[in-house]
Amino acid sequence: MEMFIQMLVAGILIGGIYALIGLGMTLIMGVMRIINLAHGQLMMVAMYITYVLYFYLGIDPYFALLVAMPALFLLGVAIQKYFLNPLLKIDSIIPQNQILMTVGVGIVLTETIRFIFRSDYKSVKTSYSSATFMIGNISWNVPMFVAFGLAVALTAGLFIFLLKTDAGKSVRATAQNKDAAMIMGINADWITQLTYGLGAAMAAAGGTLLLPIYYLFPDVGSQFTLKAFIITVLGGMGSTVGAIVGGIVLGIAETLGATYISMDLKDAFGMVIFVVVLVFMPGGLKELTKV
Amino acid sequence: MAKYSKFAAVGLLLAFPLLVSSDYYRHIMILALMWVVIGSSWNLLAGYTGQISFGHAIFFGVGAYSAGLCTTKLGISAWWGMLIGGPMAMLFGFVLGAICFRLRGTYFNLATLALAEILRLVAKSWVSLTEGMMGILTIQTFRSKVPYYYLAFGIAALCVFAIWAIIRSKWGYYFVAIREDQDAAEHLGISAFRYKSISLLVSSFFTGVAGAFYMNYMGFIDPDVVFSLYYISIMAILVAIIGGAGMIWGPPVGAFIMVLLQELFRSAFFGYLPKWISEAHAMAFGILVIVVIRFMANGVVGDWVKLSGLFTRQKAPIPSVTSGN
């Protein structure tokens, strides 16, 4: 039982970070109706930025958030502006070419990083990387706990942005009905860029928070792309609340599955949940919560 | 003119092994012919029926593993896989269709992608059946490339011809109707599920045969190669798009372009350019994806007028509405 609770806690903590990553993808999904298959790769770029800041300048990964997030925001805006938006004007037989474009962007990002840093595994070992504290019989990993807290704070920040600010309202309006939003004078081009930038920045935050407890190599992105889209579908596409629940469900499912069933299939559990959800509950958790 | 150029191309392909004796070039051509099969199969499902699959690696991998398992588990020749691989892939196609065809658009793309990833992970961890990451190693039957070349040519010709025949039949019109507007097609009495399944079964069959051929030809497979998202599923999409999706001659043209381009970068332009280019061949693949999607969304065959206009300075005429042929 104790083991079970311990695993549950670990699952929830990692789930908080997953939720952060999934949230970015959900935003993009909600506004552009495309799945961003470069999401994990954007996160990977942020992780390398953090790594460089830590390794060469000695900046703590948590402070590196202040650099990595704006940097990825700009990268995201540029990708949307120069690669994705022009596709809207092209008439082709394959309607999903924006998704394919994100695949291409993802490959280029991975390979650029591989070119610069090689394929070696890297990690950021801070003084607190393996620190833990105990509550009762359950041990809590300090960096995971901090990461979870920051993830919650960032998520709250995003919600305030979406609910209270003018730009946030424009984002939600565009997600609900793009044409109507444009008639109301919302610059849809800019909103898509803003959304993609925000999504990339959220992914960057997830990557940076993950770095002290994870390892880093150029291909690390693809597995997180898959996780992010599992979360997006699990939560119901475009549902931000759903993404948070989805992230935590995925975190728990992975940890419990890895403990009780098989370590090797850890990544497959998410996929199986994903397919089950798609088949039996295509609207995702959104169907249950109606949010 | 265009009619004769097709015959000329086929004739040239038939004579190729007689004209070129280098095993290296023959190898590239064999791979290209294999990709003709996969690209055309993908095109039947996506270009004609409108179901964009991001998981064709499933069928390729299942075909390849059927052939490989014939040797390792049943103790018979891997050539039996050429017979078993197609039907096995169809079986998986049937299951995939049952799961995914209730979904549309982006959901469908993602479901196929997820199923392919599940299969890759299972193949990787089910060591007692598939040998996991060790892969399956067999000994090639022929030392010469020529038998493989003609076999690949035969499969490719059969595949293109079969798809051509299907597209000209009633089925083909049903497929295009579903692509253009699924709801309208259903209202006209076309069972979308049935015809999407037929399209998928044909598509998976040929992809499975191509997989079995790959096993026999290369003599080695492992889950990360044959179930690869990038180098099988995405490559299949690229082959069709660079050539021209929704056109019979699109994927065959695209297959030769893609395989040649990839090989050019892998070999650093056959050694004429500095070696670091070959290290960046994966990046070249990514850049190719971007350039193709951005500038040639309808492919070489589809945008042929536009492309030739670049050289002759003629303006492309306004494209007419076609039925997808």
Averaged pLDDT, A181-195: 88
Pick A99's closest partner by Cβ from B103, B109, B246. B109
Distance of alpha carbon A209 from its chain centroid, rounded? 11
User: Does residue B324 surpass a pLDDT of 50?
Assistant: no
Higher local confidence (pLDDT), A51 or B135: A51
Token pair of A248 as six digits: 């935590």
Size of interface A-B (CB pairs under 8 A): 129
Helix or strand (DSSP H, E) at A139: strand A138-141
Q: Cβ–Cβ of B102/A282 closer than 8 Å?
A: yes
Q: Cβ–Cβ of A262/B290 closer than 8 Å?
A: no
| Predicted pLDDT at B34 | 94
| Predicted pLDDT at B17 | 83
With bands split at pLDDT 50, 70 and 90, how would you rate the model's confidence at B323? very low
Higher local confidence (pLDDT), B178 or A280: B178
Averaged pLDDT, A259-283: 76
| Predicted pLDDT at B314 | 60
Domain hosting B82: range is 10-227
B107 in a domain, yes or no?
Answer: yes
Cβ neighbours of B107 in A, within 8 Å? 233, 237, 278, 282
Higher local confidence (pLDDT), A139 or A184: A184
For the ranges A26-30, A111-115, A124-128, A224-228, which has the lowest average pLDDT?
A124-128
B63 in a domain, yes or no?
Answer: yes
B241 in a domain, yes or no?
Answer: no
Q: How far apart are the first and last CA of chain B?
A: 18
Taking a C-beta distance cutoff of 8 angstroms, is the pair B248, B163 a contact?
yes
Q: For the segment A6-46, what is each residue's pLDDT rounded down to a tens digit?
A: 888 888 888 888 888 888 888 888 887 778 889 999 999 99
B203 in a domain, yes or no?
Answer: yes
B38 in a domain, yes or no?
Answer: yes
Give the count of domains, chain B.
Answer: 1
Buried b vs exposed e over A130-155: b needs ≥16 C-beta within 10 Å?
eeeeeeeeeebbbbbbbbbebbeebb
Interface test with A, best of B45, B52, B117, B232 (most A CBs within 10 A): B117
User: Does residue B162 surpass a pLDDT of 90?
Assistant: yes
Highest mean pLDDT among A55-59, B110-114, B252-256: B252-256
B79 in a domain, yes or no?
Answer: yes
B263 in a domain, yes or no?
Answer: no
Q: Is A186 helix (H, G, I), strand (E, B) or coil?
A: coil
Domains along chain A with CATH numbers: 2-289 (1.10.3470)
With bands split at pLDDT 50, 70 and 90, how would you rate the model's confidence at A235? confident
B59 in a domain, yes or no?
Answer: yes
Q: For the segment A223-234, what is each residue's pLDDT rounded down to a tens digit?
A: 888 888 888 888
User: Does residue B269 surpass a pLDDT of 80?
Assistant: no
User: Does residue B2 surpass a pLDDT of 70?
Assistant: no
Q: For the segment B215-251, what is each residue's pLDDT rounded down to a tens digit?
A: 999 888 888 888 888 889 988 988 888 888 888 888 9
| Predicted pLDDT at B164 | 93
Q: For the segment B115-133, what is each residue's pLDDT rounded down to a tens digit?
A: 898 888 888 888 888 887 7
| Nearest partner of B119 among A65, A267, A287, A250, judged by Cα | A267
